[in-house]
Structure 1
């Protein structure tokens, strides 16, 4: 009589890998495990893309900043009426400020820039890889290794080159080169014709002097105003055409004002607040 067949023996006969099922389970990941690994890989890919995107954004931002040349630091410097000041910039350049002058020194990524908001200054520029630019009233003065003077007031922006050369431009006028001994006056967005500069007059303020040579009275009063707080006004605008010549001490502008009736056909009235009104006689 034959022996009965056990169920296990039947299973083994039907599936020869059945005895190895448990070992295979430990070596082959389950469906759930495969799904979890797929999700983890997708998450890693997303993180890599985000990292690459962030790095690219940082590169684009840096490129944009380099192109725009932003100011990352600025410092305002002012002189009061009657005060002159000399300062040395971080690059070694020298700036001498006239009375009642306001400048903003900017540190930029690609350039060295100063904004002359009001007044007058002389710049002695130290050579460097970054260009040196002075801005005022929409006028840009680009240094080409030089010493130059810039005055900014109601008359416009006057640029005079003492040594070397500069380029003067506005948004409406192309760059115009000035060499030593030359000057221009820029106003209303345009650069005027190049003229021979009177260097004695341009630099007289650094010696505490005011020098006039047939200068219209209206311009004389603009210069005098820089050295006093209270205004000096003309009762009649036509008096501004009168001419003044001579050299005077900038520390004694009140004496010059008192002298005007002796050298011009005018009378002067001083107000209690220090203001002065000049009328014709």
Structure 2
């Protein structure tokens, strides 16, 4: 016979599993917002069991997707013959398939790769870097999690490179008459002989001229960049051209990440681009801490322990490379 204590533990586990399933559905509903993301982080941070329950629930829903889709297709075929209203089973099958499909296309908190990455001409995975010789003296050095397509540039009536997302260093060293164009975020960067770094993340593009001269255009706005100058642009238009220390910008080419008084939240976001799994900050105050450090891309698992040792953070390691970083308990 089950004791009262065992029964209570079983009920608590069932409640945790239901909550985890609800989070899977909510994050896959296409209606989740930043408040939901913050609430999810707090829920995961409550205990190791909470985060593990979510990982297990997500895996179950992913495994259900093929079967749910088959049920949905079968019901639709039968409905086409009989023309009745679809039953609850068909609705459930469609809902499960749709939710899992959305989780595959738009994974919450970027915890796993998106299927939209599969259709690009060139791509790199997490932590991967790749060199691509485009011909005519143009060479691309692709950083981690980068997607690139080859596109027809209507403005120049020639072939261009589209940086869909990620980061790349571009070397344009061909003939004097050969112009390279890189499209990203609604703008175009062009050069004849130059070397530059271009980064397209979260709707913002950052262009850094490393050698030669660049022309940057977004709509009717235009700017020119010389070596050692940087420009950012996004939905609000072109920013201001500024001077920049190019060392930290291209440190990734040496497989290093360099941070100079950067908020820890930004450091974590950058590290997550190179690292399998996910570092999750559960304390906003901790995220505001300033970091001055350099890390080897090949040893980014050390970052979590550094945050624990330097900032006194509480570290919780979970399956799948997920690490929660929170304020230390009083």
Does residue 169 (structure 1) correspond to residue 214 (structure 2)? The answer is no
SS of alignment partner, residue 164 of structure 1:
strand
Does residue 106 (structure 1) correspond to residue 154 (structure 2)? The answer is no
SS of alignment partner, residue 82 of structure 1:
coil
Task: Pick the aligned partner of 1:254 from 295, 301, 317.
Answer: 301
CA shift in 2, pair 1:231/1:278, >3 Å: same
Does residue 220 (structure 1) correspond to residue 267 (structure 2)? The answer is yes
Write the mapping of 1:114-125 to structure 2, written as runs, cut at 5 A: 114-125=161-172
* Partner in structure 2 of residue 7 of structure 1: none
Q: Deviations over 1:246-269 (max 9, x none)?
A: 221011111122211122242222
Write the mapping of 1:195-234 to structure 2, written as runs, cut at 5 A: 195-234=242-281
> Number of matched residues?
207
Task: Pick the aligned partner of 1:148 from 184, 191, 196.
Answer: 196
Structure number with the higher strand fraction is 1
Does residue 89 (structure 1) correspond to residue 137 (structure 2)? The answer is no
In terms of Rg, which structure is larger?
1
Q: Is the 8 A contact 2:176 2:193 kept in 1?
A: no
Q: Is the 8 A contact 1:163 1:179 kept in 2?
A: yes
Write the mapping of 1:1-281 to structure 2, written as runs, cut at 5 A: 76-106=121-151, 110-125=157-172, 126-127=174-175, 129=177, 131-154=179-202, 156-171=204-219, 174-281=221-328
Q: Deviations over 1:46-86 (max 9, x none)?
A: xxxxxxxxxxxxxxxxxxxxxxxxxxxx9610111121111
Q: Distance in 2 between matches of 1:191 and 1:182?
A: 14
Q: CA deviation at 1:101?
A: 1.1
Q: Distance in 1 between matches of 2:180 and 2:236?
A: 21
Q: Deviations over 1:196-224 (max 9, x none)?
A: 22211011101111111111112212221
Q: CA deviation at 1:158?
A: 1.2
Q: Distance in 1 between matches of 2:160 and 2:133?
A: 14
Q: Distance in 2 between matches of 1:228 and 1:242?
A: 21
Q: CA deviation at 1:92?
A: 2.2
Structure number with the higher helix fraction is 2
SS of alignment partner, residue 83 of structure 1:
coil
Between 1:138-147 and 1:92-101, the stretch displaced more is 138-147
Structure 1 unmatched runs, 5+: 1-73
Q: Is the 8 A contact 2:138 2:180 kept in 1?
A: no
Q: Distance in 2 between matches of 1:242 and 1:155?
A: 25
Q: Distance in 2 between matches of 1:258 and 1:199?
A: 28
CA shift in 2, pair 1:238/1:185, >3 Å: farther
Q: Is the 8 A contact 1:111 1:130 kept in 2?
A: no
CA shift in 2, pair 1:206/1:165, >3 Å: same
